[in-house]
Amino acid sequence: MDITTSEVPPQYDEFRKSLQAFIGAHCPPLEWKARTGIRVPEEEHDVALLRQWARAIHDAGYVFDRFADTPGDPYEQRVLEEELGATGIPYVVGNALVAGAIKMFGTPEQRSAHIGPMSRGEQIWTQLFSEPNAGSDLASLQTKGRLDGDEYIINGQKVWSTWAQWADHGYLLARTEPSPGPGGITALILDMKSPGIEIRPLREMTGTTDFNEVFFDDVRVPVANVIGAPGEGWKVASASLATERGGVGRNLSWETVVRLADLARTTSRRGTSLGDDGSVRQQIAAFAARSRIQDHLGKRVETRAENQAVTAWDAPLMKIWFSELNLEMLEYGLDLQGPRSIVAEGDEAAYDDGFLQDAFLYARAWTIAGGSNEVMRNLISERGLGLPREPRGDA
Amino acid sequence: MDITTSEVPPQYDEFRKSLQAFIGAHCPPLEWKARTGIRVPEEEHDVALLRQWARAIHDAGYVFDRFADTPGDPYEQRVLEEELGATGIPYVVGNALVAGAIKMFGTPEQRSAHIGPMSRGEQIWTQLFSEPNAGSDLASLQTKGRLDGDEYIINGQKVWSTWAQWADHGYLLARTEPSPGPGGITALILDMKSPGIEIRPLREMTGTTDFNEVFFDDVRVPVANVIGAPGEGWKVASASLATERGGVGRNLSWETVVRLADLARTTSRRGTSLGDDGSVRQQIAAFAARSRIQDHLGKRVETRAENQAVTAWDAPLMKIWFSELNLEMLEYGLDLQGPRSIVAEGDEAAYDDGFLQDAFLYARAWTIAGGSNEVMRNLISERGLGLPREPRGDA
Amino acid sequence: MNFDFDDDQQLLRESVRRFLDERYPLSVTREALEADVVLDRELWRRGAELGWTAMLIPEQHEGGSITSQPLVDLVVLAEELGRTLNPGPLVSTNVVADAIARFGLDEQRSTWLPRIARGEVIATWSLSAEGTPDLEAPGVDAVVSEGGVTLNGTARYVHEAVGAELVLATVRLDGKAACVLVPLPHDGVRVRRHTGLDLTRRFGEITFTGATVPADSVLGGAEVLERAISVATVIKSAEATGAAEILFERTVDYLRDRVQFGRTIGSYQAIKHRLADLLIEVEAMRTATYYAALAVDEGFEDAAEAVATAGSYVPEAFAHLTGESLQLHGGIGFTWEHDVHLFVRRSKSDEPLFGEPSWHRENLFEMLDAATLGESA
Amino acid sequence: MNFDFDDDQQLLRESVRRFLDERYPLSVTREALEADVVLDRELWRRGAELGWTAMLIPEQHEGGSITSQPLVDLVVLAEELGRTLNPGPLVSTNVVADAIARFGLDEQRSTWLPRIARGEVIATWSLSAEGTPDLEAPGVDAVVSEGGVTLNGTARYVHEAVGAELVLATVRLDGKAACVLVPLPHDGVRVRRHTGLDLTRRFGEITFTGATVPADSVLGGAEVLERAISVATVIKSAEATGAAEILFERTVDYLRDRVQFGRTIGSYQAIKHRLADLLIEVEAMRTATYYAALAVDEGFEDAAEAVATAGSYVPEAFAHLTGESLQLHGGIGFTWEHDVHLFVRRSKSDEPLFGEPSWHRENLFEMLDAATLGESA
């Protein structure tokens, strides 16, 4: 059994220092405020600043693995992600998931047309996977691509797309016809300026606009925009998701544990610190245990992926575990504040400028988006345990 | 709004005292041990003692409302039930639910044949309602009674019958044919010595034998044994259940709250009483609140019954509320004991002679028997909320 | 036994529901919040005509309850206002009216009560700087001064503080709790509006800087505070019950109608069982609330226990129910346009006010501990 | 990264599973419990030949692990023994072997370790009179005497105390924890069998009345106890994981086969979702256990945290799972004849041993508090 991740050696201290200096000099002054989750700028001005920021990073010679032809020095990559991550603002503009897909399955033309521009902030991408009735359950995708000469004609609807309102290109999964293979799903590069695309930014319950609905009405996509081969969409999507796997929410849940511990320490009731209250200690420790288990579950899943032994429950399990732990912690984060929890971002009395209040509201994005946890539990029981599928009403 | 139950006035003190003296003189020395729930003697000897005890109560002039032609003085009834209840041993032998049914719907012959003998401990009854696939959901009953001349021929199976192994008579619900009305269920008096009855006492996970399975193979029951009219079984059963409503588990859950408070007070960890531990205080108080709400829910249900406004969820709600609260409290009762929870009845180190351990095991009788809580939730959602019924596989 | 409302109370319910449906439905509150105006004072006055602020005020001061159980009457009102997430300070105004009626001087009663009953005066009620009924918490300190009583300190999370004409301030005086009437605006009193989680209600922070009121403005001490918490808990619980009830109904309706994978969502058993649990929860909220109202009105021995029971159970059940409703609505429930987040926000914002659930549970444990020590001895 | 077992460990698993299936399945344990004989010593010796007690014993003393991670090896064994609810004192015997191997004198090592490795000696491990690792609890007190060290007091809830040839007693010596080896039977030591909740295991109470052992029987203090708790927690967690795994499999199989209302129960969505939750729970139990084993074996910085995580999460998940399994089995699960109650009893009985979940959580909070004070400062 082997799980070791080694520490960054001291000889990288200099790299870190020069990077910090670079960040100090170039980190953009955004209107956009760092909040939990994937949060998208509301102002064009901020988007422009972020593009400049990505360009500056690129021009300074910092290259991310996802955009590089050959993997970079792993410690440099870690320092890079750590330091840029610590700024709290995006350092890749848009959703760069497609980069892995293009690197692995794309044509030389696709690589040169997209990888460089993405790394320089010239292209913003959005991911077009989730659908209203399917979530991330690819088998249920209903967006169709009908082959017409050397073009697919796309019809359907996607939801939960971040960055779509600012995107130049979309990483689209559609069920192509005639169906060329099992599943019959194809991955496509979509020009977001194509006629027939309607983007509806959603104002969410958080009050911010982070997701979009995207509608396709006879949108034409050249066959040359297929990533990999027609019908290989599932493989392409799985592979690119695998390159990003485990990342979502991993540190997020531990960060919340730390926030709760801080909050408890600095809050008093009946003259006693909540950090000395047995019920608070027990509850926060229970969260801490679950957060640590989340890390370890992630490593089990990674191991299975490396051994080509992915199970039907790996992804749903991670999603349920993180999203429900996250939600419970944030509910508790409000409870611990007591009446102070009723004020939010912008109020001088708010704890941590209302971060926990916003995160509490946003927490439902994780339990609902990308396939609700109810759909996830169906997947686990039906595909994982082989229990009978729910009868469809239209059968 | 009116919910008052008045205190027993002081002029009943004398009645109480003489009753206490009677109990002191006659309370039988049973092998049988008082435990939680409906627990049935394992020894014939104990059954005989209980019959004598019932006879002594009767002969001393103490009459229970359920056996009386006219209601007794309500305060005397309360004192009677309180003082006899405090002995912890049954004062009515067997399941006397049928008494209400016979009083309300029985013929004069039925009344004289059964009411007196029941009150004198001469007749032990069992209730034959629950079935393996139906629980107490009368609409799903599958035990059949086919009319053949002036007899019904009964075939089918019942479960969860307490006292059946000692019973002289059974209070049976069967689906009679030809079906004489909506539901087509008929209430019958069954002589338990009839040919074709097989009683299988079940040894439960508690190690005790409190329930039975009862099988009917062409058992003949005279039409004269119908209680009320054929096809009125649902009405008869509902009415008799209503006379006993709310009783089950009401005080049981508060008693457990008190036990938990005692246990916490007398148990220490890391040198501190658990009664001073914030997490224990919060948890026990949460149980206490739910236990009090159980009382009040019972009064709401009683009010609806009195107003002829019973809903489809009244009974399932009470069952779910009590049985899950009870189970959670008993799980917690073990947790609070720490390692001491691993010893049970008969061990000198056991807390309260292992009462909580036995009650923890028995707790599942409440969540499973009489229609599992899963079936109860179906009833609430389908009959109460009008949501679509689960498709049957054989449809 | 009739553990349900009387006919007169049913009539009250119908008239209030009709008024709210016509004049003050949630859609009106929604428009107001988008326009940054929350409480419509004219509508509040109309509500006052229907008795919203009158139940705990004696008839001689233009008040009057429907039955001999004024808190039970208030439960009816509060449930209905809760169903529409009404922004009005029903809790605090009634708490203050009750405090003046029970503990005030004749002059205070005749000055304030008729105007509160008529809805002309919004009265609010402040606790500590942390919004808790906690004497140990920082908050407002009072000293007896030449001119009367002088207040210094801050009280936060005060409902409708910005618009209020009167505040009943909970202060520390000689190390003990005291409740002091302060008319607003007032010298040395500054009110700041909070940015809140609950979008349908407006809260504020009140800062006292040497604000001096006559000595007889002190209505009393712990007994006033305790009574206020009982009244507040009952009304808050009833508002929560009404809100839970309507959201539950809307959720069931939505799931009965909405089709996914060719079936209505409400036909999926996992969903059905969760709805069954929510039905139980709503019924339990109701029951705990009604019993607390009755117990306080009738002075039952277990009144304090009933308040702690409702105060701990109801807000958490409400928050659980709104969360479940949001989850069961799925994506649509996550949008700004859908109402469900307004209920989520209301439930979490209400939860800690006037005594957090954990505070009520601690009280409950103390009562239980005292009582069962006797029982088991 | 390979967060899974190596091939050698997989082979070990197969051989143990084969042995248990053939010789020591749950049905054999069931017969034994009905006959009031619990541990079959002959079978225990056969198990020892397969390495059940050898992993933490050096090769020179007839022990030896499969890989360089002996606790991870033990996890494999413990999972398999857990699957059959094996009555053997796997935890205590390995804890004592480990303590002697690490902290014992050469003579103690050569006296005891080979016999433990061969399964000839059952070694057990006692804590306080309350079964807790709590120095504040009443328990066994030791004083240095002329003849060595003299023990007085009682230790309870000690696994297989009745049959054991050796006990490692946790005592209080000069106000501190000490761990003392006492061979059994011994003058001044009385062992009484408990009547237990767990029917597949036998526990006992050990009373020391002036029992005197040589001074060098004291293996050490807090460091021995701390290591023992780490080892015990890992093995106990692995036994729980194995038991949870097989019960989950049996539950799924039952629900897939059993028909109610014309459908298999496993086709009802409410049931399916609960099974999905149990799958997650089993996977989390496994993961927490494996990580704790690895962290202790490799001396990771977060080893103590990993032990507290497994020690708090795993037993509660196990108890939850057995309860759910019972409920999902319905009436049949409530019978004596069905095995599910044996799992229920095991899970509740295991839960508080060698440090209750709440004790581990308290430890975890203290570590978290210390660590995050730094992080947030």
Which residue stretches of C158-221 are H helix? Answer: none
CB proximity A74 to D under 8 Å: no
Q: Please indicate, yes or no, whether residues B87 and B147 belong to a single structural domain of this protein.
A: no
Please tell me which chains touch C, using 3 or more CB pairs under 8 Å as the contact test: A, B, D
Domain ranges of chain C: 7-117, 123-220, 223-371
What's this model's pTM, rounded to 2 decimal places? 0.95
Tokens 């945290």, residue?
D305
Residue B163 near residue B124 (C-beta atoms within 8 A): yes
Nearest residue, CB atoms, B391 vs list A277, A278, A391: A391
Q: Look at B270 and D136 and tell me if their CB atoms are within 8 Å.
A: yes
Q: What are the tens digits of pLDDT across the range B49-88? A: 999 999 999 999 999 988 988 888 989 998 998 899 888 8
Q: Which residues of A touch B (CB under 8 A)?
A: 277-283, 391
Instruction: Identify whether B112 is part of a domain.
Output: no
User: In Å, how far is A278's CA from the nearest CA of chain B?
Assistant: 5
Q: What percent of chain C has pLDDT over 70?
A: 99
Question: Mutate which of B274, B282, B392 to disrupt the A interface (most A C-beta within 10 Å)?
Answer: B282
Chain D residues lying within 8 Å of B140, measured CB to CB: 261
Instruction: Identify whether A98 is part of a domain.
Output: no
How confident is the model over D62-80, as a mean pLDDT? 97
CB pairs under 8 A between C and D: 12
Q: Look at D263 and B269 and tell me if their CB atoms are within 8 Å.
A: no
Q: What are the tens digits of pLDDT across the range A117-128? A: 999 999 999 999
Q: Please indicate, yes or no, whether residues B292 and B343 belong to a single structural domain of this protein.
A: yes
Range name among A252-266, A305-319, B93-107, C196-210 with the lowest pLDDT average: A305-319
DSSP state of B1: -
Please tell me which chains touch A, using 3 or more CB pairs under 8 Å as the contact test: B, C, D
pLDDT at A243 over 80: no
Chain D residues lying within 8 Å of C269, measured CB to CB: 268-271
Q: Look at D372 and A262 and tell me if their CB atoms are within 8 Å.
A: yes
Q: What's residue C181's pLDDT?
A: 98
Q: Please indicate, yes or no, whether residues A256 and A370 belong to a single structural domain of this protein.
A: yes
How far apart CA C357 and CA C288 sit, in angstroms, is 14
Q: What are the tens digits of pLDDT across the range D232-244? A: 999 999 999 999 9
| Token reading at B395 | 């449809």
How far apart CA C247 and CA C236 sit, in angstroms, is 16
Q: What are the tens digits of pLDDT across the range D115-158? A: 999 999 999 999 999 999 988 899 999 999 889 999 999 999 99
Residue B344 near residue B206 (C-beta atoms within 8 A): no
| Token reading at D4 | 């899974």
Report the CATH number of the C123-220 domain.
Answer: 2.40.110.10
Q: What are the tens digits of pLDDT across the range C94-106? A: 999 999 999 999 9
Q: Please indicate, yes or no, whether residues A253 and A217 belong to a single structural domain of this protein.
A: no
Chain A residues lying within 8 Å of B281, measured CB to CB: 278-279
Q: What's residue C1's pLDDT?
A: 78
User: In Å, how far is C260's CA from the nearest CA of chain B?
Assistant: 14
Q: Look at D368 and A302 and tell me if their CB atoms are within 8 Å.
A: no
DSSP secondary structure string for all residues of C297-317: HHT-TTHHHHHHHHHHHHHHH
Q: What's residue B180's pLDDT?
A: 58
Neighbouring residues of A108: CB distance < 8 A, sequence distance ≥ 6? none
Would you give the end-to-end CA distance of chain C in angstroms? 33
Q: What are the tens digits of pLDDT across the range B29-53? A: 998 888 888 899 999 999 999 999 9
Q: What's residue C270's pLDDT?
A: 96
Closest of D73, D64, D2 to residue D297, by C-alpha? D73
Q: Look at C291 and B296 and tell me if their CB atoms are within 8 Å.
A: yes
Chain D residues lying within 8 Å of A296, measured CB to CB: 3, 287-288, 290-291
DSSP state of A394: T
Q: Please indicate, yes or no, whether residues B265 and B224 belong to a single structural domain of this protein.
A: no
ipTM metric: 0.96
Domain that holds residue A270: 248-384
Q: Please indicate, yes or no, whether residues B352 and B261 belong to a single structural domain of this protein.
A: yes
Q: What are the tens digits of pLDDT across the range B98-116? A: 999 999 999 999 999 999 9
Q: What are the tens digits of pLDDT across the range B300-349? A: 998 998 888 888 899 899 999 999 999 999 999 999 999 999 999 999 99
How confident is the model over A288-307, as a mean pLDDT? 92
Q: Number of structural domains, chain A?
A: 3
Q: Which residues of D290-305 are buried (b: 16+ CB within 10 A; e: fewer)?
A: bbbbbbbbbebebbbb
User: In Å, how far is A344's CA from the nearest CA of chain C?
Assistant: 5
pLDDT at B143 over 90: yes
Q: What's residue A250's pLDDT?
A: 44
Instruction: Identify whether B337 is part of a domain.
Output: yes
Look up the CATH number of the domain holding residue A138: 2.40.110.10
Chain C residues lying within 8 Å of D270, measured CB to CB: 269-270, 272-273
Instruction: Identify whether B293 is part of a domain.
Output: yes
Q: Look at A347 and C131 and tell me if their CB atoms are within 8 Å.
A: no
- Nearest chain C Cα to D275, which residue? C270
Q: Please indicate, yes or no, whether residues B71 and B153 belong to a single structural domain of this protein.
A: no
Q: What are the tens digits of pLDDT across the range A51-91? A: 999 999 999 999 998 899 888 898 999 899 889 988 888 89
CB proximity A364 to C under 8 Å: yes
Please provide residue C116's backbone torsions phi and psi, each rounded to the nearest 5 degrees: -65, -45
pLDDT band at residue D377, thresholds of 50, 70 and 90? very low
Neighbouring residues of D72: CB distance < 8 A, sequence distance ≥ 6? A1, D5, D9, D290, D293, D294, D297
Please tell me which chains touch D, using 3 or more CB pairs under 8 Å as the contact test: A, B, C
Residue C259 near residue C265 (C-beta atoms within 8 A): yes
Look up the CATH number of the domain holding residue A284: 1.20.140.10
Sequence length of chain A is 395
DSSP secondary structure string for all residues of D2-50: B-S--HHHHHHHHHHHHHHHHHS-HHHHHHHHHTT----HHHHHHHHHT
How far apart CA C273 and CA D274 sit, in angstroms, is 11
Q: What are the tens digits of pLDDT across the range B221-279? A: 999 999 999 999 988 988 887 666 544 434 689 999 999 999 999 999 989 999 999 99
Please tell me which chains touch B, using 3 or more CB pairs under 8 Å as the contact test: A, C, D
pLDDT at A245 over 60: no
Instruction: Identify whether B211 is part of a domain.
Output: yes
Q: Specify whether domain D7-117 bears CATH 1.10.10.1800.
A: no
Domain made up of C223-371: CATH architecture = Up-down Bundle (1.20)
Average pLDDT over chain C reads 95
Q: What are the tens digits of pLDDT across the range A183-224? A: 789 999 999 999 999 999 999 999 999 999 999 999 999 999
**Position A236, amino acid:** V
Q: What's residue A370's pLDDT?
A: 81
Closest of C345, C244, C376, C354 to residue C308, by C-alpha? C354
- Nearest chain D Cα to B395, which residue? D262
Instruction: Identify whether A325 is part of a domain.
Output: yes
Average pLDDT over chain D reads 95
| Token reading at C342 | 């307004």
Question: Mutate which of A282, A283, A284 to disrupt the B interface (most B C-beta within 10 Å)?
Answer: A282
* Beta-strand runs (E) in chain A: 125-128, 144-148, 151-162, 169-177, 185-191, 197-202, 211-222, 226-227, 268-269, 272-273
Q: What's residue D227's pLDDT?
A: 98
How far apart CA D99 and CA D180 sit, in angstroms, is 10
User: In Å, how far is C231's CA from the nearest CA of chain B?
Assistant: 17
Q: Please indicate, yes or no, whether residues B262 and B348 belong to a single structural domain of this protein.
A: yes
Q: What's residue C372's pLDDT?
A: 78
Q: Are strands C148-159 and C166-173 parallel, antiparallel or unpaired?
A: unpaired
Q: Look at B299 and C269 and tell me if their CB atoms are within 8 Å.
A: no
Instruction: Identify whether B275 is part of a domain.
Output: yes
How far apart CA A173 and CA A326 sit, in angstroms, is 29
DSSP state of A307: T
Q: Look at D260 and B133 and tell me if their CB atoms are within 8 Å.
A: yes
Chain D residues lying within 8 Å of A293, measured CB to CB: 284, 287-288, 309, 313
How far apart CA A247 and CA A81 sit, in angstroms, is 12
Q: Please indicate, yes or no, whether residues A256 and A367 belong to a single structural domain of this protein.
A: yes
Instruction: Identify whether A113 is part of a domain.
Output: no
pLDDT band at residue C205, thresholds of 50, 70 and 90? very high
Q: Please indicate, yes or no, whether residues B253 and B378 belong to a single structural domain of this protein.
A: yes
User: In Å, how far is D140's CA from the nearest CA of chain B?
Assistant: 16
Q: What percent of chain C has pLDDT over 90?
A: 91
Q: What's residue C263's pLDDT?
A: 86
Q: What's residue C103's pLDDT?
A: 98
Q: What's residue B264's pLDDT?
A: 97
How confident is the model over A149-173, as a mean pLDDT? 96
Q: What are the tens digits of pLDDT across the range B121-131? A: 999 999 999 88
pLDDT band at residue B135, thresholds of 50, 70 and 90? low
